Structure 1
Amino acid sequence: MTAAIRSLGESVNHKTVQRLMIEMGLKSLVRPKKYRSYKGQTGRVAPDLLQRQFTAERMHQKWVTDVTEFNVAGEKLFLSPVMDLHNGEIVAFETARRPVFKLVKN
């Protein structure tokens, strides 16, 4: 808020802005920092068993999974659905607060 007021050419102290915001019942929205992935060593890459063939002739022939991150009530939640490639049906899913191996193993 202080930066926005100063950008309009007004000289204002940040403590004055803070006091006025408290008096008016205004709260700032602090955005969480964007996740930056680990830049160190990575694990081994799994072999491409499907060879880019993402269709199946019958049910339960090919299942795939992935991990997706959601923000729920200000907290991270990780979802790992298991999808049947025959009809796109979600046959199972697992959730966790951290991206752990259990998400894709169970």
Structure 2
Amino acid sequence: MAESFFGILKTELLYTQNFETADEFTASLKEYIHYYNNERIKNRLNGKSQVEYRALIQKT
């Protein structure tokens, strides 16, 4: 599971941008992780983000 996340991270963030400083990379990484967990829609989660899906599961 972690290998899959890091593969997606590299494809969507690391390989698409050039970072001038470590701080710039850290800020982009934090933004990406927020996007990945809260906004990124997954078909296998019925069109919901991971946070939305977890909240839905906990209600049932």
TM over 0.5: no
Higher share in helix: 2
Q: Greater CA radius of gyration, 1 or 2? A: 1
Between structures 1 and 2, the one with greater strand share: 1
Per the normalisation by structure 1, the TM-score is 0.20
